[in-house]
Every structure is written in C-alpha cells, then in structure tokens.
Amino acid sequence: MSSKVLVAYASKYGATVEIAEKIGQVLSQAGLAVDVLPANRVSDLTPYTAVVLGSAIYIGQWRKEAVKFLTDHEKELAKRPVWLFSSGPAGEGDVVELMDGWRFPKAQQAIADRIRPREITIFHGKVEPQKLNFIERWMLNNVHSPIGDYRDWPSIAAWAEEIAAKLKASDMAFETASAQVQLKG
C-alpha cells in the first residue's frame, strides 16, 4: 500500500496556495502520490492515507474553508497521519515569537486534540497591499505590519521532506509486515 497524500489548503490571496504547492512538489519528488486541492473542493478522504492541511491566518483565525474541512472530516482525519500548518505572519525573525507563541487557533484546538496531528507548524507569510481591500489596508497601516514576502522556502521544503520521510518509513514498515504475513500464510 503506497501513500497517497492530500495537501489541502484555504487561502485568501494565494500565498498559502503557493506553500501548499511547494509541499506537494516536495512530497511528489520523494516518490509519493499527491493531490494539492482547495479544502472546500475535497468531499471524500477515502483515497488518501495521509493529509496535510494548511490555512492562511487572519487575526489569529483560520479561514472558514479550513475550519469546515476539519469539522466535516474529523473522524476520518483521526484515523490517518495528519500535519497542520498556518501561514500569515509577516516580518523577520522567529515566526512563533512574532506570533507570541501562537501556533494554532484556540477555537479549533479541541478538534486538533481529537485528531492528534503529527505536527502543527506555522510559516511566515506574504503581504501584498495591492491585493488588500480598503479595511485590510487600513488595519495594516494601523498595526504597522511589515509588507513583503517573508515565506521561508527552505524551511517549508525541509518540513515537507520530514513528512515524506515519515510516510515512506511507515510504508516500508507496512510492506515488510505484509510480506511477513504472506510468508507465514
């Protein structure tokens, strides 16, 4: 049984899509079958042995499509390896420090606790003022948020490589156990 991985995402302006695509690319290069899809386009997790789910964050909240994905698929997610990521904070330095220790929305923490993801992480984001609406630009100016692309591609790729290694190791263990059962049978 080889792994087919779903990389699902919720993005507002496209930066999280690009992170999800990079994760999918790294997993694919590692020899895994991968689908990279918007969270709101996934209705069935049956084909997938593992899931990576990410969302852009705004004011400490995940996008509603990612939250709906978590709640709609909670039972199925609890039965397979899951990794969660958030993207959004702009600026230099340690992303967790920039977020004052925040890694995941409190409103969805109980669901995450039941799913038991292998890892929850947060990546730097990208802020493009020309894509923002008036209210978002006003808020950006008032909080003096940095503008630009702060995504750390080597860090994102390394995280995806760790996921690939863990999935491939579990595939090898499954195949070895299956072969041993067949030899005994």
Q: How far apart (Å, rounded) are the C-alpha atoms in residues 108 and 82?
A: 15
> If you average pLDDT over residues 36-50, what whole number do you get?
97
Residue 1 buriedness (CB in 10 A; 0-12 / 13-18 / 19+): exposed
> If you average pLDDT over residues 76-97, what whole number do you get?
84
Please provide the CATH number assigned to the domain covering 4-184. Answer: 3.40.50.360
The pLDDT of residue 100 is 67
Give the amino acid at 58: Y
**Largest Cα–Cα distance of the chain, in whole Å?**
69
The pLDDT of residue 176 is 39
The pLDDT of residue 14 is 86
The pLDDT of residue 145 is 67
Does the structure show a pLDDT above 80 at 142?
Answer: no
The pLDDT of residue 41 is 97
Residue 125's pLDDT band (boundaries 50, 70, 90)? confident
> If you average pLDDT over residues 128-149, what whole number do you get?
66
Residues 6 or more apart in contact with residue 165 via CB below 8 angstroms: 30
Pairwise pLDDT comparison (105 vs 83), residue with the higher score: 83
Across the chain, mean pLDDT equals: 84
Spans of all domains in the chain: 4-184
> If you average pLDDT over residues 148-158, what whole number do you get?
89
Residues 6 or more apart in contact with residue 142 via CB below 8 angstroms: none
